[in-house]
Structure 1
Amino acid sequence: MIKTLTAKAQHVFLAETAVPDPKKEAPGALTDKVDTVLGLMAWVGTAAGVAGVLITGAMMAISMRRGEGSEHMGRLGMVLGGCVLVASAGPVVSFVFG
């Protein structure tokens, strides 16, 4: 008899109380818009990195043609460092917040 009362009490309590689902997102959530903006920023950063490597390479070729020193290696290092930073930003953010 106690088992029957306990089962009925649980049934009534659980039927009246809605269990929240934390994984369910609201329709039209802001996360879709944020993902779109972050994706565009990643593509822009990648394009800027490729353009920076191409421009630095062109400047190095011109300076070698003129016989000047190799002062552009520092610029190339900074551009490649920026490329690594842009490329690793997405996985780091998804690891921290995902």
Structure 2
Amino acid sequence: MVFAHATQAVTEVVLSLPFDLPDPDPVQPPGTEGFTSIMGWAKWIALAVCILGLFAAGALMAIQSRRGEGGEHVGKIGMALGGTIVISAAASLVGFLVG
């Protein structure tokens, strides 16, 4: 009981203090413009590979469906879609961090 009151008192004191934390704007270091261009190219190439992977998985599914093996390619489609999600999330995260 005493610990709870002490914790509450410390919390109230800390929260009542005027904190003025700095919030600087993100600035890209000079000379790194080429790096952002390379990241854009890598994103484009990676997404193109994922799209080609979807095309290939769909074509293999259509060809092998007559033999009863079409369902095996659903995992490949899932992996290609998962790769697209990871690439898009990484690009968005880097874009957020860079500014």
Fold shared by both chains (TM-score > 0.5)? yes
Q: How many residues align?
A: 75
The amino acid across from 1:92 in the alignment is L
Structure 1 unaligned residues grouped into runs of 5+: 1-21
Q: What do residues 68-91 of structure 1 show as CA deviations (whole Å, max 9, x unaligned)?
A: 251111111111100111111111
Counterpart check, 1:34 vs 2:11: no
How many Å separate the matches in 2 of 1:95 and 1:56?
33
Identity of aligned residues (%): 36
- Residue identity opposite 1:33 in structure 2: G
Contact kept? 2:47, 2:84, Cα under 8 Å: yes
RMSD: 2.3
Residue 45, structure 1, aligned to residue 27, structure 2: no
Q: For residue 47 of structure 2, what is the amino acid of its counterpart?
A: T
- Distance change in 2, residues 1:23/1:48 (3 Å): closer
**Matching residue of 1:75:** 76
Which of 1 and 2 has greater Rg? 1
- Does the Cα contact within 8 Å between 2:28 and 2:98 map onto a contact in 1? no
The whole-number CA distance in structure 2 between the counterparts of 1:92 and 1:24 is 16
CA distance in 1 between counterparts of 2:83 and 2:68 reads 28
How far 1:37 moved relative to its partner?
Answer: 0.4
Q: In structure 1, what is the Cα distance between the partners aligned to 2:82 and 2:27?
A: 39
